[in-house]
Structure formats: structure tokens, C-alpha cells
Structure 1
Amino acid sequence: MKLTTAICGGITAASAMTLPLNLPHDFPGRIFQAAASAPALPLSAFPKFETVKLQDAKKAAPAYSKVASAGGAEVADAAASTDNTNANANNDNGTVSIQQSKAAKCGTPSPRVEWSAYPASSKRAFVDAIACLQSKPASGNFAPATNRYEDFVRLHQAWTPNIHNNDLFLIWHRYFVWTFEQALRKECGFAVAGLPWWDETRDAGRFAASPVFTAEYFGSLPKANGAAGTCITNGRFAGTTLHIGPGGDHQPHCLSRAVDESGTAQVNKDYENACLSRSTYTDFAQCWEKGPHGIGHNSIGSVMADVLSSPGDPVFWMHHLYVDRVFSSWQDRDASGARKRTVNGCADGAKPCTPLTRQTLVPMAGLLKDVTVGEVLDTVNGATCYVYK
């Protein structure tokens, strides 16, 4: 599937399965000539995430939700076993596909383990598999991606207006991480039982000292170099040149970071618990997206602070595994299991918005088979098969 640049609104399963990837007409998308060497770009080049401070999030509860009346009602469809969307298909670009019954739970869910408990050999295998994707040729379906890893970055860049600042955010990114995992396994031989996730609250206020940011794994987390980020020169991804971003542009630049520990201090248990206390999906999703999710991105800084092209920094996956883990924890807090079957909110920014339902499409543009929201709500009863340990 080639990327296109038309704009659309909410998407349902009734929509064409060949989905255009959309950017507003005035969205930047200039193609730059390759530089002789990849520079660290000014921090101002990276469009930051919208965030809400903890005290403001607490003040806004319980009226935090901005859902329009068209999308405000909680939607509970028939059980997942009656969902007619078929997730069994082969993709035309040679990428992975899934074959899994939605009528029953998956066989043995892969265990996602916190980074500190993940064996050293598994950590090395994980970063090696990511580097493997960076070494493989691009599919050609996500121009101007220059390697297979950048296919994922370009998809996120192009689709950002549709999967940020609305209630599809958590669900789309859950399936995006699952899609990435399948590529690591099929295309780079990653064979560890489950992915690692990083409990960022353990390192609140001291991300730079986290065992994630070491010379053996993801490289260091330096401060800004004046008005620009600092290029990463150690770790498995030292010297990486990125070609997607900043923002909607495509300009060669180094993998850079610029930590703000006053920001990382806000990624803490207090904020996590404030979001976990929300009773509806949309209230939780909006609290979590603009809280520790957005604050964590911005506080790692530079490439990670780029709302469109942040997957260019491989630590993106560790951050979103944490984001998904807390989403899963919120779902598990409901003993009835309803949070794994029901959803509410908006699938777009229209007024009134398109309601988010179990039939809303979760598109991957050929990286993996498109599925519906209903197939992603429960991590062991649908299109995915994993649990958090």
C-alpha cells in the first residue's frame, strides 16, 4: 500500500480496508536533500506533545472528558465471539499477518516483563532485533523511508492526525506495538517469549540514570546541547541517522535526546494512580495521553518529543509498552471484565465527533492486517496474545 495525503474523519469497519493515510492539506511534508553528515536539529524543530500537569488533571476530574454528545455514550456490542471481522489474511507486501480466533482466548499469551526483571540475554536480543530492522531495506510502501524500521516511523508520522488527541489513541498504539513485535519475530528472528516493558515511575526524576539508557542497550540520555538535542554516540543505536521527521518533514538528522528531569519527575505513581481512578474509557484515555504519556515523550526530548516522528528513537517502544501496561492495568481493575468489552469516546476531532465503537477500524496500512477496536480491547481474546507480568 502506498501512502496518500487526503484527509478523512472517523473510520469504521465498513470503510474500505485499503485505507489512505492522511495529512491535512497544509501539513508540512518537504523532502530534503541528504546532508553530508546528520546534524542534531534544534529542539524547536520537533513539535511537542500536548500535556496536562497533574494538579490540572486532578482539578478537571471528573469532567475531564471533552467527548461530544455523539460519542459520549458507552458502547457495548455483542461478545467478541460474534465479531464478524476476519483478521486472517495475507498481505501483498510480504509482511506478517495474523491468524487467530476471536471466539476463544489465545493459546499461551506471551509474558511482557518489566525491564529490571528481563534477562540480560533477552535485553540484548531485543535491541539487536530492532537494529536488525534498521539494517533491512524499506518495503517501498512508505516513501521516503530508507529502511524497514523507518516504514514504522513513516506510518506513525502520516497517521498522527488520526491517532492522537482522540480516543483511538490507546487502542491504535496498542496494536502498533503488537505489529512491531510481529515484524521483530518474523523478519529478525526475535525469539524471546515476550517483550520488555519499562516501569518509568521507578525512575521518575532520574530517567538519565535508568538501566534502559546505558551504553549496552538504548544509549545514554544526555541533556540538550544548547538549543539543540545531543546526538547519541553510545549504545546499540549510536550514530543512527534518521530520515523521517522532524514533524512532517523528511530531513536527515541524528538520533538525539535532551532530557528534562523536572519533566520526568511528573511521570510518577501519583499521576498514574490519578488516571487509573477514572471510571470511563475516554476519561482514562485523555488523562493518560496528555499526562505521563505526553510528559514522558517531551521529557526525554528532541526526537522523542516529536509528536509525529517519535518512533525514530527506539526507546519509543519501551515508552509505549509502559503506556500500554498501565492501560491494561486500568482494564484489569474492573472485576466484571466490561472494560475489555466496551468502549466510549470519539474516533476523530469532528464536532460532533464520530463515536468510537467496537467496529471502528484500527489500520496498519499493510504492516499487519487491519482489525477493529473490538479485536484489540482484550489482549488475550482477539487480535493480540500477551499479558503483563
Structure 2
Amino acid sequence: MHIPRFTSALLLARAVAAAPTAGTTCDSSLAELNDLVKQAISTQEGILNDRTAAANQTGQTCTRDNLTVRRPWGSLSKPERKAYTDAVLCLQSLPAKTPASVAPGAKSRYDDFVATHIIQTQTIHYTGTFLAWHRWFVYNFEQALKNECGYTGSQPYWNWALYANDPASSPIFDGSAYSMSGNGAPIADKGPITLLLGDFAPIELPAGTGGGCVTSGPFKDMQVNLGPVSLPLNNGTVVTGTGLEHNPRCLKRDISAGVNAAYANATSVVNLIRQHDNIGDFQMVMQGVPGSGSIGVHGGGHYTIGGDPADDVFTSPGEPVFYLHHGMIDLVWWTWQSLDYSNRRDAVSGTGTFLNSPPSPDTTLDDIVDLGYAGGGQITMRELMSIQDGPFCYTYSL
């Protein structure tokens, strides 16, 4: 199913401004979010049960018996968490496949993913491919961890709603050996983060309690090689060139409970899933409607992490938590799809360029997604619309 281009940004901005999408997480909203995910799991189980029973006749390769389960970080055992971070560190130690002529700053296999995201940023955000492209991107990162670094687990995700009021103390960011590393060193008097998007009014976000180099956990010695390209004001990192040059520096974080509580809390996620019946509105609100003052749950996750490279839309995969964040983005999309699966499974909307600038054709299910040197080869949008079809065979658990 193809839905025409995005709803008018101005009209949708008014609707978003009137809707109670921001606020603090409450128990009832978290319970409702859990119920929505359980509904999605039930829908998928029904499809796979039918498929498993008729596997010999249908020829389907994804059945209940070979389904991979993605789990939230906090539900992983300590050895499972360490296995994941070890695999990410392994990917950072392997040589890049991206030629120096394409991205001279790409020094590791991990950097291949960052370089691809930098190169394609203008065609994978506020476009018709946003959700499917990132689904394929995270999946191929997961496959690289498995096939190139011996990882035997699945891609974990970050449920923003669980820790919305204090993300720094969560098992993701607590700085232990079994976390994704802690906050950056504190920098005083940073002031708010100011986001600019074209001619729309700037958005100011509350700064976090860090800002400097990460000093604890598995990624405390990590080197960021690429970017930045477009950091928000007040970040403090010097922007150099296209972002593809070699610019070695430490991983910085500025974890902000204020951003998490305002934009990526349980109420925000439930409202996103419940209040938008078409894919155009759903993915626009998820990313933040320009002019509405909201950065959506997508921006909420990125700017909760903060720092460099998380604050840079181009270079954000340089932050290891990117893949947990986009695992949650994928879970939310999958949950939304499952509420009306027959109508939403193949729903696409948008064009091929950022907010259709410059103007470009409408996205279709026949459009090709290509991650370049990150891997995966060429694939159609049609093949990326379901996590139990095409190359995929995975689900999510709470």
C-alpha cells in the first residue's frame, strides 16, 4: 500500500502541539505500552503458528521454531551483556571495508556503518525509507557481530520508557563492566542544547549532567574516527569537513533525564502508537514534526544520550547505544504495524529526500535500499516491511 506524501507539516504540527505527547512516565502508561507490545507478540505468534503448521506447503523459511528474540538490555544476564559489548569492540578492531577514496577516516569495520549513515543521511531521515532503512541497518550490524565477531546473542534494545526519569542509573548507562558505559565527565555551565532545522524556530533541550569523555565501562577508551558533520549549538566539538575525514577523538556523552522524560517516556510512546492511523503521520511524529517544538521519540533517544557523536544526526551510529536505540524504534514501528497488520504491513509514505528537499519521487515498495560497504547488498523496500519475512526472522520480548 502506498500513501501519498507527508501530511502538511503545519497542520500536523498543530495537532502534535495539542496532543499530550510529552511528560513524565507514569505506571499506567508503561503498563499500556507493555500491553501493546504483548498484542504485537500475539499477532506475530498467530501468523507463525499458522506458518509452522503449514511449513511444508508454504515454503516459508521463518517459523516459530527458528525465530530470534530481541530483548531489552536490562533483561540480559551479565555474561550476555558482556558478550554483546565484546562483539562491538571486536567490530571496532577489524579493518574497514570502505575504501579510503570513499571515506578516508573509516579505520574499522564499525566505521563502515558510520560512513554509510553519513553518506546517506539526507535520504534516510524524514523520507519514505526512514523506518525500513534503519531496520535493515540494525539487522546488518547484528549480522556483522555474529558472522565476523562470533556473537551468539541477538541485538538488544533500549526501552526508553523504563528509565525516563533517571536514564544515567539504568543498566545501560550505569558505567559498570556490564553496561554500555557511563556518562561523560561533567562539564559545568554548558547551557541548553539548541537545535536548528531550516527556517523553523529553534528548539532548546535541557543539557545533561556530563558532556565530556566517557570514563567508565567497556567503551571508556573508544576512539570515534568520523564526523562530526552537524552538531547542535553549544556542543563544543569542532565540526570538520564532510565527516568522512579522519578526526580521532574520545566518545563523549551528556545524558539528559530532562530530554528522556519529556520526549521518550511511556506516554509519548503510547500516544505515538495509538493516535496515528497512517504511516505518514506516524513516522513524522516519531521523528518530530518541524515547527511543532517536539523532537519525537526518535530525537528523544538520541538527545538523551547527548554528546559527540550522538547529537549529530549524520554521525550518530558512532555512538554504540545507537543500535539499542534504533532497536526500540523498530519495536515501536512493529507494534504499530501489528495493531492493523493487514493494512499497515506494507504501508509507506514520503519521498526520497529529507522533507522532500529537493523535490523527489514518492517512495514505493519497489525502491532499492543499499547499505554500501556496511553490507547486506541491494534489497527492495517490499522485503523490509515485515520482521518475519524477507531476510528477517526475529521478534521482540519485554
Deviation at 1:344, TM superposition (A): 2.6
Aligned to 1:104: 60
Distance in 1, Cα, partners of 2:73 & 2:322: 14
Deviation at 1:120, TM superposition (A): 1.9
SS at match of 1:196: coil
Deviation at 1:131, TM superposition (A): 0.4
Aligned to 2:180: 218
Does the CA-based 8 Å contact 1:224-1:257 persist in structure 2?
Answer: no
Aligned to 2:168: 208
Deviation at 1:379, TM superposition (A): 0.6
Distance in 2, Cα, partners of 1:384 & 1:289: 24
SS at match of 1:302: coil
Which structure's relative contact order is higher, taking Cα pairs within 8 Å and 6+ residues apart?
A: 1
Deviation at 1:103, TM superposition (A): 6.8
Q: Which of 261, 265, 268 pairs up with 2:265?
A: 268
State the AA in 2 paired with 1:324: D
Aligned to 1:381: 389
Distance in 1, Cα, partners of 2:130 & 2:105: 25
Asked if residue 286 in structure 1 is aligned to residue 284 in structure 2, the reply is yes
Higher helix share: 2
Kindly provide the CA deviation profile for residues 344-371 of structure 1, in whole angstroms up to 9, marking residues without a partner as x: 3323224654111111111111411111
Asked if residue 195 in structure 1 is aligned to residue 203 in structure 2, the reply is no
State the AA in 1 paired with 2:380: T
Does the CA-based 8 Å contact 2:128-2:348 persist in structure 1?
Answer: no
For the aligned residue pairs, the C-alpha RMSD in angstroms reads 2.4
Deviation at 1:121, TM superposition (A): 1.7
Distance in 2, Cα, partners of 1:129 & 1:149: 11
Q: Which of 151, 159, 168 pairs up with 2:129?
A: 168
Identity of aligned residues (%): 33
Kindly provide the CA deviation profile for residues 2-25 of structure 1, in whole angstroms up to 9, marking residues without a partner as x: xxxxxxxxxxxxxxxxxxxxxxxx
SS at match of 1:230: strand
Does the CA-based 8 Å contact 1:347-1:353 persist in structure 2?
Answer: yes
Distance in 2, Cα, partners of 1:156 & 1:352: 21
State the AA in 2 paired with 1:343: V
Distance in 2, Cα, partners of 1:246 & 1:316: 15
Contiguous gaps of at least 5 residues in structure 1: 1-51, 62-101
Aligned to 1:302: 307
State the AA in 2 paired with 1:341: D
Does the CA-based 8 Å contact 1:260-1:301 persist in structure 2?
Answer: yes
State the AA in 2 paired with 1:154: A
Deviation at 1:338, TM superposition (A): 2.4
- After the TM superposition, which parts of structure 1 deviate over 6 Å for at least 4 consecutive aligned residues? none
Distance in 2, Cα, partners of 1:139 & 1:386: 27
SS at match of 2:118: helix
Aligned to 2:25: none
Contiguous gaps of at least 5 residues in structure 2: 1-9, 20-57, 191-209, 230-241, 289-295
Q: Which of 71, 86, 110 pairs up with 1:149?
A: 110
State the AA in 2 paired with 1:322: M
Distance in 1, Cα, partners of 2:185 & 2:269: 25
Distance in 2, Cα, partners of 1:362 & 1:202: 33
SS at match of 2:70: strand
Does the CA-based 8 Å contact 2:184-2:215 persist in structure 1?
Answer: no
Distance in 1, Cα, partners of 2:59 & 2:347: 16
State the AA in 1 paired with 2:393: C
Check 1:182–1:271 CA distance in 2 against 1; reply closer, same or farther (3 A cut). same
Distance in 1, Cα, partners of 2:284 & 2:165: 23
SS at match of 2:395: strand
Q: Give the structure-1-normalised TM-score.
A: 0.71
Asked if residue 121 in structure 1 is aligned to residue 79 in structure 2, the reply is yes
Q: Which of 358, 376, 379 pairs up with 1:368?
A: 376
Deviation at 1:381, TM superposition (A): 0.9
Check 1:60–1:351 CA distance in 2 against 1; reply closer, same or farther (3 A cut). farther
